[in-house]
Each structure stands twice: as structure tokens, then as C-alpha cells.
A and B are shown apart, each in its own frame.
Chain A
Amino acid sequence: MTILASYNIKGGVGKTTAAVNLAYLAAREGAQTLVWDLDPQGAASYYYRIKPKVKGGSKALVRGKRQLEALIKGTDYDNLDLVPADFSYRHMDLVLDNTKKPTRRLRKLLAPLADEYDYIFLDCAPSISLVTENIFQAADALLIPTIPSRLSLRTLRQIMDFCERSGLSGLKLLPFFSMVDRRKKMHRSMVEEPPEELPAMLSTSIPYASEVERMGVARAALASFAGRSHAALAFEALWQEIKARLV
């Protein structure tokens, strides 16, 4: 089981899009795949047409009254399941804070699923908090969608520093450029020549594209309704690159 967290401190950078589409591609290859929608906004749940509701909310889950397994819903796709979001996730920090070993709770919740899934994608809420630390502890790799701008790169630096300070040396950081708008000079130059002080960005970048926005109308993974689009092909290339980096 490999746990991949789609994460950024910033919102609106394409985290959910990445989690939803990459998970779809993993499942399409035959891997048993789970997405856990940890964002109280529930966008991933929405894309997969699943109600963002968890019985007992985050409290029951974190306190161990409810097994994660019981919350799993099948999506419309083979091999792909989802743990839906819940509005109560916005208070998850507080609930976690009241448990023993609060930074390892998520990891413990995921452990029983190791035999059932090959990949688990965590779609994380934008913030840096106790939940974030939990995610970092649980994940094997962070997928970090990054918009090619100065400010975004500064944010990326912050995430790296945070991981370093927390002693998370085993956590792979896999940043990639997201929502790249070829019409913008700034985007073009930064994608072509990323600043040297940053760790190797993945070479695939995800374009800013209208098909990605159409996901909200189609409520489906990109490859299932616009498989030949640039954005869909970019996600396929990105997934191949991620797999190669995980070995």
C-alpha cells in the first residue's frame, strides 16, 4: 500500500483535481485504489457523485468508534473507492488534539486497509495544522501541485522546511507545476527554468484547461469524458512519472 497525499498550504492550486484524476488512472491500470476526501468542502466527493457525509463525523472516526472500512463507498469506476468528506472535518484538529499520539492517528486508521488497497490518495484541505502533521506521518509521498509564481514557490519552500524540521526524511516530496497558463510569460519562463534552489520538480506539468473546469459539470474523472484532451494526457504522463519516482 502506497499512500499519496495531494497537498498544498494554498487553496485553489489543483489538489483535488490531481487526486481525483491520478486515482482514476491508478484504478484503470488495475490497482485497488482509495481516495480519502479530507477536505470539509468535499470537492472530491462531489466529483465522484458521493454525498459528503460520514456517520458520526470526524469525532467517531478519530476516537476509534467507527472503522474507516465501514465508511468506504464505491465510485462509478472499477477498482476505485472513496471515503467521503464530512463537514465536521473542519474541527478535526480539535478532536485529534484530545487523543494519544495525536500526530499518528491517521496512520493508525489507515493501517487496516493495507491489504485491500494498492494506492490510497489523501485529498487534503489547504492549511497547516495538526491534521497536516498527521497526513505527513501517514503518507509515503506528498504530491504538491504548484502554480508557477514566486509566491507559490515560497510556499513550496515552507512545506519543505516544515518537513525537514519535523524529521520526515522518509517522506518523498513530489512537487509539480499545476494550472500552467501558457499565455502568461511568467508561467512559461518558470516552467521552462524552475529556480535552482528547489528540489527536482516533476517534469510533467498540468495545463490550465477548460476541460478541468468541466469536471465540475460532468462530475467525473477527466479521462472518462475527455480522454484525448491535453489535460487528461498530462495527468497520464504525470502518473507515469510519479510511479517511476515511487520505486
Chain B
Amino acid sequence: MRTMSERHLQLVMPDELSIEVLVSRLHQSMRFSESGPVTLKRTYYDSFDWRLYAHGGVLEAESGNGAIDLLWRALDSGELYNRQPVDTLPRFAWDLPCGPLRKALEPVLEMRVLLPVAWVRSTVRTLHVLNKDEKTVARVLVEENVPLAPGGMATGRHLPRVRVLPVKGYPKYLQQLRQLLESDLGLPPANEDLMLVALGALGRQPADYSSKINVPLDPAMRAHTATKTILRHLLQTLKANEAGVRADLDSECLHDFRVAVRRTRSALAQIRDVFPAEALERFRPAFAWLGDITGPTRDFDVYLLNFDQYKRSLPAAFRDHLDPLRGFLHAHQKKAHLALVAQLDSPRYREVIADWRAFLQDPADAPAGLRNAGRPALVVAGEQIWRVYGHALKQGRAIGAQTPAEALHELRKTCKKLRYLMEFFRSLYPAAEIHRLVKALKTLQDNLGEIQDLQVQMRSLRQISRQMADEVAVDTLMAMGMLVDVLATRQRRARAAFRKRFAKFAAAENRDLFKALFAQSPAQQASRS
């Protein structure tokens, strides 16, 4: 463990202190050699959904003189974890050369692309503090920083900073520098990482996007209004991902787009009697269409994401024979994506979104005669969740070892509806309890999802192998056949695990909690104990 005294120090240069005065004060008390000044461009990267920030890290690309260094450090303390020179900027973590930085970033970023989020131009003078062997025992970086706009224009004010980078094993010098800079010269600490300051200069907040639903609702709010609030939030998520879907930045933009579509469809179908039938007739087919046009691309994305795992699941001698499949998937993903973009460019898409937005922004009350529209959100939410929950229990209990796969698929769909409802109205319930129930549901959903996804993958692999039959070697077809076999084994295993997972979900303690949170009347409470 590194001791606190070895942590690096980041200070702000006050306006009244000039760099020359600072350097001459340092000269009076220690020996150092100087390098620079060099001008660097610092670009900060994160994924669309801010995974690095959420992980508490900052990824900075420092470029100047043709060389690029990637720096990975702690957001709060500024402690440097890794410095890695690269020839080109990676798009994904897997583009990085094998090494510690890749090892650190891969599990955090997974399949997400790195996007530039903020820029700073820095002019840096480095003072290498030396001992009597001319060994560097600490470094003082005196920096002029200017936040930049995306085009490279300076934006925001200059940020002069002093950074002290200790060298491991020489704590004495750090203490001496601390005394001089903090106490004698009175330099205040820099509380925020430069990344946050640069982001602020662009008027942006970190973590301004999340794929999770977080809609604060008031229990007394009318259900009609609450549902519109939820749907507005989903439209925002959908629109936030649209550019990423068009550009095919990474697989998750489309995934989040599709989830927003599915949640919207679920809300329209499951939160009953809050909207007039005329509106439902208009919008339910529109969102079904959005689900349809995005499906093929997503399917190919999933196979491509799974490809390495597919390969690893085969005996070593057969793995390379699977490679033509990757080429096939890539080509078809590209084609499907082009078709999708054409749909997003169509007048129909524009009309659907405009129409939907107008509907959600319409402040008028729901027309009379809708049973739930005017009732409190809390009451309606409880009723709907309780209804779908009962449905899930009934379907699950009817599933035995011989039940056809379709029944599991139906249960999966019901569980999704239940999950979405619970997430929409999450803010109305005690956080710990709802969290526990969502977690219990998720464990069951993971199992059901695996069974169904494997089913779909096996079916598609068969179709694809027929399409590829004339173009590839027999070995490739054999490898694909083996893969189907591997998937079938996995599916059998998942299916065998279902009973236990369901029993856990349907256990008395969860039933009691579902009842306590969502059942409305004593009569209902008695019905499912």
C-alpha cells in the first residue's frame, strides 16, 4: 500500500503569484533540472454511459511531439495507476496492447467504445528535483491549462496548476515540497480533476446519461401524469442514443435504444386505463415497428459479441474453422445496420417521434371515462404490479420438466413486464425493499433469458449454416454444428436450473414482501399467500 505521504499533490496557482516567482523560490531551497515547456493536448475519454467516471477513474490521452501517452488515474486522489504509450488511440479496450492498462479497462468498459468528452491544452514545465547523485527524487509540474471546445478553440478561463509527483521511496522530498508550496507560498489544493473542470467549461456534467430508469414520482401524482413522466424519460433515452445508433458507435447504443422502445411498449400495455384507446391504437403499432426495424442488427450484434466465447467453447483444433462465420456476421450486421439507418431517415420515423413527443407534452387532462387516469400513481402502480406478479407466479408454477419451451418464453415475457413496472415506479417504494425484489426477479430473468437466447441462437446458426453452405469449407459447417451442440448442452443445463431459481423467486419471504408493497386490499392479500 502506498502511504498518504506518497500521494501526488495538486495545487492551484493563485492569480497574484507568477510562475517565475514560484520557480525562483524553489531554486532557493532545492536543486533541480528543468525540462520543457512543452505544449500538450489532453483529451479525456469515457464511454457514452460514463463507465470510467462511475468506476472512479479518469482516462487521459496526452499528445504532443507525435507521441501519445494514455494515463489512467484515480478521479479523487489523482493517483496514477498506469501510463501507457500508444501509437494510435484505441476505440475499444480490446484495441489496447496487452498489458496492465488493458487489464484494468476491459472489465470496466466491456463492449463500449471510448468517446472524447473534454479537451485541455496544457503548457508544462517540469522541474526534476535532484539529490546529490543527480537522481530524480520528485517532479514539480508547472502547468498552464486552457479548456478547449470540441473544435479546438479555447473556452473558459486559464487554469494554472502545480502538480507534485513524488518518486516512490523518497518521502522526505515530498514533505519538503509540501511545506514550501502549501505552507510558505500558500497554494490552495485543486479539488477537482482537470477533466471535471474541462467538462464544466463545456457546460456538461459527468454521468449525464444512464441506461437505468430513474424517474422521481410523487405518490399522490395522478397516474396519467406519472405515466407520461415515465414515458418522457424513455423518449429522452431513445433520442440520446439515436446518433450512436446511426453511427453504429458500439452495440450498446442500439441496445439501449431498443430497451427504451420495449419499455415504452410495456408501459403502454401494462399501465392500463390511463390513456384513451385512440392513442394506444396509434402508438402501440408505431413502437412495435421500432422494435421490428432494430431487431436484425441487434441479433447480429449479439452473435458478434458472443463470437470469442463461441470460439473458446470448441475444441482447440476446430476453433479457427469458425472464423468465416465472423466474416458472415460482420457483413450481415453492416447490411442490417444500413437498412436500419434508412428507416431512421424515413418520414415515418420522424412523424412517429414528433407525434409521440406532442402527445407526451400535451398538458391537457386525460379524457373522462378512463378508470385509472385520475387515481393516485401509487395505487395504480400497486394494482398493476400485483396483477402481473400474480400472472408470473401462475405461469411459473405450471412449468414442469416436460413443459414445452414456449411456456418458458411466455414466463420470460411476463417477468420483463413485471420488472419494467417495478422500475418505472421504483421511486414510490422503500429503496431497500424494492431493490431486494428486483434482485430476486433478476436472478430468475437471467435464467429464463439464457434459455431463450440459446434457443434463438441455435435456430439462427442452423439458418446461417444453410445460407453459408455453398461458400465455405465443410470444416466450418462442422464447427458450427459442434457449436450448436455446445449451446444445446448449455441450454439443457440452464433449463435444469430453472426449478430452483423459480422456487427461490416464489419463496414465502418474497411473496410476503410483494404483498406488503403492492397488494391493495385485504381480499387481494389473502388471495396469493
Contacts and interface: CB of A to CB of B under 8 A. Distances in A.
A31 B169 contact: no
B135 interface: yes
B359 interface: no
A49 B100 contact: no
A193 interface: no
A30 B70 CA distance: 9
Interface string B81-113: 011110000000000010111000000000000
Contacts of A81: 168-169
B133 A73 contact: no
A28 interface: yes
Contact of A73 (B82, B97, B128, B168): B168
Interface in A12-56: 28-32, 48-51
B349 to A, nearest CB: 45
B170 interface: yes
A161 interface: no
Given A74-B170, A78-B83, A81-B168, A51 B99 contact: no
B167 interface: yes
Identify the interface centre among A28, A49, A71: most chain B CB within 10 Å of its CB: A49
Interface string A56-81: 00000000000001011110101101
A30 B167 contact: no
Contacts of A76: 128, 135-136
B85 A29 contact: yes
B168 A79 contact: no
Nearest to B3: A70
Nearest to B137: A74
B163 to A, nearest CB: 14
Nearest to A82: B169
B134 interface: yes
A28 B82 CA distance: 11
Interface residues of B, number: 20
A72 B83 contact: no
Contacts of A50: 133, 135
A78 B100 CA distance: 14
A73 to B, nearest CB: 3
Contacts of B133: 49-51, 219
Interface string B104-129: 00000000000000000000000010
Given A73-B168, A73-B170, A30 B135 contact: no
Interface string A110-127: 000000001000000000
Contact of B97 (A30, A71, A78, A79): A30
A74 B83 contact: no
Interface residues of A, number: 20
Interface string A127-160: 0000000000000000000000000000000000
Contacts of A219: 133-134
B97 A29 contact: yes
Interface in B141-176: 166-170
Given A30-B97, A49-B135, A73 B169 contact: yes
Contacts, number: 50
Contacts of A71: 169
A118 B133 CA distance: 28
A69 B169 CA distance: 10
B134 A30 contact: no
A49 B134 contact: yes
Given A30-B101, A49-B135, A51-B133, A74 B169 contact: yes
B99 A118 contact: yes
Nearest to A118: B100
Interface string B68-88: 001000000000001111000
A76 B133 CA distance: 12
Interface string A197-225: 00000000000000000000001000000
Contacts of B135: 48-50, 76
Nearest to B131: A49
A246 to B, nearest CB: 11
A31 B99 contact: yes
A72 B83 CA distance: 19
A113 to B, nearest CB: 12
A40 to B, nearest CB: 19
A74 B101 contact: no
Contacts of B169: 71-74, 81
A50 B170 CA distance: 11
Contacts of B166: 74
Contacts of B70: 30
A30 B82 contact: yes
A51 B133 CA distance: 9
A84 B135 CA distance: 14
B175 to A, nearest CB: 16
A32 B128 CA distance: 21
B302 to A, nearest CB: 30
A50 B132 CA distance: 11
A238 B99 CA distance: 18
A30 B168 contact: no
A29 B134 contact: no
A74 B168 contact: yes
Contacts of A79: 82-83
Given A29-B84, A32-B82, A81-B168, 17 more contacts: A29-B85, A30-B70, A30-B82, A30-B84, A30-B100, A30-B101, A31-B100, A48-B135, A49-B134, A50-B133, A69-B1, A71-B169, A73-B167, A74-B170, A76-B128, A79-B82, A219-B134
14 contacts: A29-B99, A30-B82, A30-B83, A30-B84, A30-B100, A31-B99, A50-B133, A71-B169, A72-B168, A74-B166, A78-B83, A79-B83, A81-B168, A81-B169
3 closest A-B pairs by CB = A30-B84, A73-B169, A49-B135
